[in-house]
Chain A
C-alpha cells in the first residue's frame, strides 16, 4: 500500500454526528498534514501535526498521531452539511533520507454529511 492511505474510502453520516477518518503511512515522518478538498476545487490546509506531537485540536477538528503504529486520525465533531468534502492526509518523507518537501497524499476519504 502507498504512503498516506486514508480509511474509509467513503463515509456518510447525519448532521450533528462525529466523523472519524484514519490515515496510515509506511516510512518515518517529520509531520503529517490533513487537507480538505471540495468537489472540483483546490485543497484547503486543515491542520499539521509534528512527529513529536500526539494530539492537536483546531476548532471542531481533532487530530491524533501514533508514530509507533504509523497512523493518524482526523475527528470532526458535530458535523455540518458544509463539511461534505474529500479529506486527504499528506506526509513528508521524514528522516528516512527522503525529501521533506515532497508531500505524499492518499486517495482520500469522501465524507458526506446529510442534513
Chain B
C-alpha cells in the first residue's frame, strides 16, 4: 500500500518562473492538505482540499499561489512567478474519507523548492 507520493522531490526554479508540485494521496484518501516548512521552522498549514473542492485556503498567500485537486489525477500546488522567499519544503498530507477531522494525517516525503 503506497504512501503519499510527491513529485518532484527537488525542484529548482529561477525567479519569475512557475513551480508545479504534485501530490498523490494514499489509496482511499480523499482529503489532501498542503503545508510549507521554511528552514528550521515547523510546518505551516496552507490549504485543505477534497476532490474538486477547496475547503480551506486560509494559510495560502493570496497572490501567486493556487491549489487544486481534480476528480482524476494528483493534487497540484502551483506557484507563479516564484521569488527567493518561496524556497522551502512543501509537504502534502492525506487522510481517509471516513475520518477527515481530528485524525492522523499521513505525510509525503516533500518537495524541496529552491528559487535561484
A residues adjacent to B (C-beta < 8 A): 4, 30-31, 33, 35, 40-45, 48, 88, 90, 92, 99-108
- Interface membership of B43, Cβ < 8 A: yes
A4 near B102 (CB under 8 angstroms)? no
Within 8 A of A (CB), among B33-52: 33, 35, 40-45, 48
B43 near A103 (CB under 8 angstroms)? yes
Indicate whether A101 sits within 8 Å of B95 (C-beta atoms), given known contacts A4-B42, A107-B42.
yes
| B43 partner residues in chain A, CB cutoff 8 A | 43, 88, 90, 103, 105
A104 near B45 (CB under 8 angstroms)? yes
- Interface membership of B100, Cβ < 8 A: yes
- Interface membership of B104, Cβ < 8 A: yes
A42 near B48 (CB under 8 angstroms)? no
How long is the Cα–Cα vector from A46 to B1 in the complex, in angstroms? 18
How long is the Cα–Cα vector from A99 to B102 in the complex, in angstroms? 9
Per a CB cutoff under 8 Å, which of A4, A48, A104 touches B104?
A48
- Interface membership of B105, Cβ < 8 A: yes
B residues adjacent to A (C-beta < 8 A): 31, 33, 35, 40-45, 48, 55-56, 58-59, 91, 95, 100-110, 112
Closest approach, in angstroms, between the C-beta of A15 and any C-beta of chain B?
Answer: 25
A101 near B48 (CB under 8 angstroms)? yes
A101 near B42 (CB under 8 angstroms)? no
How long is the Cα–Cα vector from A43 to B42 in the complex, in angstroms? 11
The 4 closest A-B pairs by CB, nearest first: A105-B42, A42-B109, A43-B107, A30-B102
Closest approach, in angstroms, between the C-beta of A96 and any C-beta of chain B?
Answer: 13
Per a CB cutoff under 8 Å, which of B44, B101, B108, B109 touches A101?
B101
Residue in A closest to B10 when the chains form the complex, CB atoms: A40
Per a CB cutoff under 8 Å, which of B40, B45, B55, B108 touches A42?
B108
How long is the Cα–Cα vector from A103 to B33 in the complex, in angstroms? 10
Closest approach, in angstroms, between the C-beta of B44 and any C-beta of chain A?
Answer: 7
B42 near A106 (CB under 8 angstroms)? yes
| B109 partner residues in chain A, CB cutoff 8 A | 41-42
How long is the Cα–Cα vector from A30 to B104 in the complex, in angstroms? 12
| A99 partner residues in chain B, CB cutoff 8 A | 48, 56
Residue in A closest to B41 when the chains form the complex, CB atoms: A107
